[in-house]
Amino acid sequence: MNNGPTPAGRPDVIVVGGGIGGLSTAFALSRQGLKVRVLEQAPEYGEVGAGLQIAPNCTRILDEYGLLDEAKSLGVLPENMVMRDALDSRELTRLDLRDLERRYGFPYMVIHRSDLHAIFLRACRRAGVELLNDQVVVGYENTDGGAQVTLADGRVESAPLVVAADGLKSVARRDLIGDDVVSSSYVAYRAAVPFEQVKDNNVAEKDVTVFVGPRRHFVQYGLRGGEMFNQVAVFESPKALAGEEDWGTPDELDAAFEGSCETVTKGIPLMWRDRWWRMFDRDPIETWVHGRIALLGDAAHPPLQYMAQGAVMAIEDGWVLAKHYARVAAAAPQGAEPDWDGALAAYEAVRVEHCDRIQTTARAWGKLWHLDGEERLQRNAILGARDTYDYGFTDWVYGPTALTPDEEPAMFEPIPLDSAVVGEPLSDAA
């Protein structure tokens, strides 16, 4: 057992978890001159998975960090985001992503998640962040003027601030809040394949396409300059609904997508079948800051992925925290400790409400996507009536990240499903 201090001495901030949330936060705080140490449980830094959509509220931050050009060189800027009915393939609504970039000032990008993670890893290295592996954090505690973590090997590390960015199954969340994850009974299959494998599948290579259908949806977009093609197949697992342990298996995948349109049907055999991701979130909570321990990213607000904002929110969290630290540090008298508590209170005051909105909307969005029968037709009528250039549904999320609650934009007004009369002209349905 090693109980001694680590060679680099006491950091200003310990970040637990080296995922996209942890690394981006470590980088943001190090830009403010703080000495940051990241403790990651895995033997190496890396990301498993396939593509990630990052909206303008994230690319705006990448730009400020000086990382947008690198991200652009590795990612793809799609032309449109198109939503189609998964059964008959009919277009329901679209975002013109070139116009969206004009509106918000920054692009909508898709990027391999390991590429985005590697961008932050390199940025952290350049900034002198101390990146440690094989560091399994098992406990958190507040101390006088700071907080400490206990590692599985018995070591204790302390700092004025501990950021718990340890993901959906966060130990900090368990210790501080004690709530449980919520199963949606939906499961995701992913596949990032060479474009060659899908070129005859009638895919829209320059778009993000989302096929929405009864108890299923299917997402497609190009990756890595169009050399690769990303697919995500999501469905409700009958075994999960029946309370079986072994749910979301490949036989369920095939059955769930039976009867889908041709493009979707052709995409299903390409999905990776050796791993799948069961979809969990948590109920929103109001308290993320406990003394000098702050929850961040999925540890604070794991969403269902339907808004494609989970990683984006984590990156925003780190940006907001660093901005508030900069503010209190600038206000601190020479030689005095900055008002960390003030910075943490400001972080919590603005991020809790925003992330609650995303988590709640993601759940509602998932329900809308997966409707069947008459409700499916009502949804299609409402979506079909939306003007491509109506940004009323995106301004609250894609605009600049708020630093204070009064900067948070108003939410959109949901359109009741039963306000759509199926069969009426689409333009009258909204």
Cα atoms found within 13 Å of the Cα of residue 83, Cβ hemisphere only:
21
From the list 20, 99, 18, 5, the residue with the least C-alpha distance to 313 is 20
Count CB atoms within 10 A of the CB of residue 282.
Answer: 20
Residues between 53 and 112 that touch ligand FAD (CB under 6 A): 53
Residues between 384 and 413 that touch ligand FAD (CB under 6 A): none
Backbone φ and ψ of 221, nearest 5° = -165, 160
154 near 1, Cβ under 8 Å?
Answer: yes
Least distance (Å) between residue 308 CB and ligand FAD: 4
Residues between 264 and 303 that touch ligand FAD (CB under 6 A): 277, 297-298
Contacts with ligand FAD by CB under 6 A: the residue count is 33
Strands 80-85 and 207-213: parallel
Pinpoint the alpha helices (H) of 161-261.
171-176, 238-241, 250-256
In the structure encoding, which two tokens stand for residue 284, read together? Answer: 């929103």
CA 330 vs. chain centroid, Å, equals 31
Least distance (Å) between residue 114 CB and ligand FAD: 11
Q: By CB under 6 A, name the one of 15, 29, 34, 52 that touches ligand FAD.
A: 52
Least distance (Å) between residue 305 CB and ligand FAD: 4
Count CB atoms within 10 A of the CB of residue 186.
Answer: 24
Which residue's CB is nearer to ligand FAD, number 82 or number 385?
82
Helix (H, G, I), strand (E, B) or coil at 209: strand
For ligand FAD, what does the binding mask look like between residues 109 and 138, x meaning CB under 6 A?
A: --------------------------xxx-
Which residue's CB is nearer to ligand FAD, number 109 or number 429?
109
Least distance (Å) between residue 284 CB and ligand FAD: 14
Which residue's CB is nearer to ligand FAD, number 2 or number 427?
2
Q: By CB under 6 A, name the one of 111, 116, 165, 397 that touches ligand FAD.
A: 165
By the criterion CB under 6 A, which residues form the site for ligand FAD? Answer: 16-22, 39-42, 52-53, 135-137, 165-168, 171, 188, 232, 277, 297-298, 305, 308-312, 314
